[in-house]
């Protein structure tokens, strides 16, 4: 089975922040290559798979940029050393938990107390994508022209929406929408929301920090990707649009599209039912 990945990733400081606390990675776990700030790349997904990840250092906390960089590097290193054949569904979750522990330990150093970061990761292995989330950075699946969010924000506002206390429309403008319920490195252990899905021909993933989603609706993200001639152009357009809408935070986008020996998506089931949720995040009752 031959499956190919075309990928791009860009990060931008935005218009109001003094530092960029976002970080991302695209890593081929079979080879030695670590793809960082790239315009565009294409390669075959080999036996150990490929890791895509985005992390957003927590604003208002110490060393946010250190936290996000450490989250990304710790996760990459854990996946590089522990990914095995055959694969089990908990591999990515274990790697996230290991990375969390490393950030937790690093946060004990002077000047790094209470640092933390979000994490959203997609691990592509054979015809399957595994998705992990801690915090509120998002992953979307673009299939057959439809864009669907495959993560659920671990935030106070999302908890209110889930309970029916707040409408999604009101949530978009809620003053406390950036309050998240957990982050990497804040506790010695972390709840990792997990999912997986079977890949289809032409599937594309969007991983992004909230610097993008706080400025653009999902329909704008979809239209920008579909209207761009290449993925790297789509990355640039998305960051440009977010800045034109205000650019109030750091903006990071990773786009990956798969092709090769994969089945075609069934037209009336392009997205519905695609995601199998392996483990949910249980919001603490005390946060209500």
Tens digits of residue pLDDT in 193-216: 999 999 999 999 999 999 999 999
Q: What is the mean pLDDT of residues 226-231?
A: 95
- Using alpha carbons, list the distances in angstroms from residue 121 to 95, 101, 136, 278: 11, 17, 12, 14
Q: Which helix (H) or strand (E) holds 275?
A: strand 275-279
Looking at residue 2, what is its pLDDT? 94
- Using alpha carbons, list the distances in angstroms from residue 19 to 95, 119, 131, 174: 28, 19, 28, 25
Confidence grade of residue 124 (pLDDT, cut at 50, 70, 90): very high
- pLDDT at 34 exceeding the cut of 80: no
Tens digits of residue pLDDT in 111-120: 787 889 999 9
CATH 3.40.1350.10 for domain 3-152+181-281, yes or no, is no
| Predicted TM-score of the model (pTM) | 0.94
Q: For the chain, give every domain's residue range.
A: 3-152+181-281
- pLDDT at 282 exceeding the cut of 60: yes
Please compute, for residue 235, the number of CA atoms within 13 A of its CA located in the half-sphere on the CB side. 28
Confidence grade of residue 148 (pLDDT, cut at 50, 70, 90): very high
Looking at residue 80, what is its pLDDT? 85
- pLDDT at 6 exceeding the cut of 90: yes
- pLDDT at 69 exceeding the cut of 50: yes
């Amino acid at each position: 089975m031959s499956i190919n990945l075309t990928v791009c990733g860009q990060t931008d400081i935005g218009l109001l922040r003094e530092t960029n606390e976002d970080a991302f990675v695209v890593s081929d776990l079979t080879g030695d290559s670590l793809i960082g700030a790239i315009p565009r790349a294409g390669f075959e997904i080999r036996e150990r798979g490929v890791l895509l990840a985005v992390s957003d250092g927590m604003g208002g906390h110490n060393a946010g940029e250190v936290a996000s960089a450490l989250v990304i590097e710790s996760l990459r290193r854990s996946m590089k050393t522990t990914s095995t054949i055959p694969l089990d569904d908990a591999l990515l979750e274990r790697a996230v938990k290991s990375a969390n522990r490393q950030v937790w330990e690093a946060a004990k150093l002077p000047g790094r107390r209470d640092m933390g970061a979000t994490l959203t990761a997609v691990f592509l292995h054979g015809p399957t994508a595994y998705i992990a989330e801690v915090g509120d950075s998002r992953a979307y699946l673009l299939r057959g022209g439809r864009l669907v969010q495959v993560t659920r924000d671990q935030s106070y506002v999302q908890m209110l929406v889930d309970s029916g206390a707040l409408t999604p429309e009101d949530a978009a403008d809620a003053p406390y929408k950036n309050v998240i319920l957990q982050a990497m490195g804040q506790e010695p252990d972390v709840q990792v929301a997990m999912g997986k899905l079977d890949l289809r021909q032409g599937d594309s993933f969007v991983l992004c920090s909230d610097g993008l989603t706080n400025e653009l609706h999902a329909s704008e993200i979809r239209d920008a990707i579909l209207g761009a001639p290449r993925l790297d152009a789509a990355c640039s357009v998305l960051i440009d649009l977010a800045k034109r809408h205000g650019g109030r935070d750091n903006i990071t986008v990773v786009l990956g599209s798969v092709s090769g020996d994969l089945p075609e998506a069934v037209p009336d089931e392009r997205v519905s039912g695609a995601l199998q949720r392996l483990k949910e995040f249980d919001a603490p009752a005390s946060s209500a």
